[in-house]
Each structure stands twice: as structure tokens, then as C-alpha cells.
Structure 1
């Protein structure tokens, strides 16, 4: 099974999720450091749609200016555009497999799609 993780190596939850993926037999992991290679608004929309959450639910509030900018109340399009241009606004980690997508907070959520 292939798995892609949108990863921040400075985040403990992201590191723990990556460790679960790497320790899972038969999982081929692709790591995308999203702060260096931000996903497009279209890719983010697809990830959140497949995860069954709204872009606002995927918005990182802690350590960002998202609330000051009114993003929690903004339209999906505005949130996605902000995330694509400022990837620190993306809550992490997101993991995609053939079984679906999860925002892995807590990291054990990744097991739902393995």
C-alpha cells in the first residue's frame, strides 16, 4: 500500500505518525514536507473532501494568524487559498492512502486508513 504524508519534521505528532507508517508492514511511504512544497488549493480541497472535513477543520490555529485574519469564518475558497500561499496554516499531518485521507491528530487516526 502507498501512503503519502504531508509532514512537518518539527512537529511531534507528525513525527509519530510517520513512525507508525514506517513501522507498518507493506506500506510504501512518500513524505512531502509541505512547508517546503505546499500543496495547491485544489489538492487541499481534494484531501479535505476525501477526509470528510471542511477546510476550516484543517486550519491550524495554534501558532498562526488564522484567527486574526478571520479564516475560521471565511469561505472554503478563501481558506484554501490562504493555506496554499501560507502552508503554516495547514494542520498536520495529513495522510492519504487508497483507503482514504485522515488528519492524524491524534497520530493513531492513521491506522483507520492502513
Structure 2
């Protein structure tokens, strides 16, 4: 099984989720450091749709200026535009497999798609 993780190596939850993926037999892990290689707006929209969450639910608040910018109350298009322009606004880690997508907070959510 292939698993793609949009990862921030400075984030403990992201590191722990990556460790679960790497320890699982039969999982081929692709690691994308999303701050260096951000997903496109279209890819983000697809990831959130496949995860069954809204872009607002995938918005990172902590450590960002999202609240000051009114993003938690903005429409999905505005949130996606902001995330595409500033990937620090993307909550992590997102994991995609052929079984689905999850925002892995907590890290154990990754088990749902393995």
C-alpha cells in the first residue's frame, strides 16, 4: 500500500504519525514536506473532500495569524486560497492512502486508512 504524508518534521504529531506509517509492514511511504513543497489549491480541496472535512476544519490556528485574518469564519474558497498562498495555514499531518484521507490529529487516526 502507498501512503503519502504531508509532513512537518518540526511537529511531534506529524513525526509520530510518520513513525506509525514507517513501522507498518507493506506500506510504501512518500513524505512531502508541505512547507517546502506545498500542495496545490486543487489538491488541498481534493484531500479535504476525501477526508470528509471542510477546509476550515483543516485550518491551522495555533502559531498562525488565521484568527486575526478572520479565516476560521471565512468561506471554503477563501481558506483554500490562503492555504495555497501560505502553507503554514495547513493543519498537519494529512495522510492519503487508497483507503482514504485523514487529518491525523490525533496520530491514531491514521489507522483508519491503513
Aligned-pair Cα RMSD in Å? 0.4
Secondary structure at the aligned position of 1:29 is classed as strand
Q: Which blocks of at least 5 consecutive residues in structure 1 are unaligned?
A: none
TM-score normalised by structure 1 residue count: 0.99
State yes or no: 1:112 paired with 2:112.
yes
Moved over 6 A (4+): none
* C-alpha distance in 1 between matches for 2:85 and 2:26: 34
TM-score normalised by structure 2 residue count: 0.99
2:30 aligns with 30
- Deviation string, structure 1 residues 8-37 (Cα, Å, up to 9, x no partner): 000000000000000000000000000001
Q: How does 1:18-57 map to 2 (within 5 A)?
A: 18-57=18-57
Q: How does 1:1-80 map to 2 (within 5 A)?
A: 1-80=1-80
1:83 aligns with 83
Give the CA deviation at 1:75.
1.1
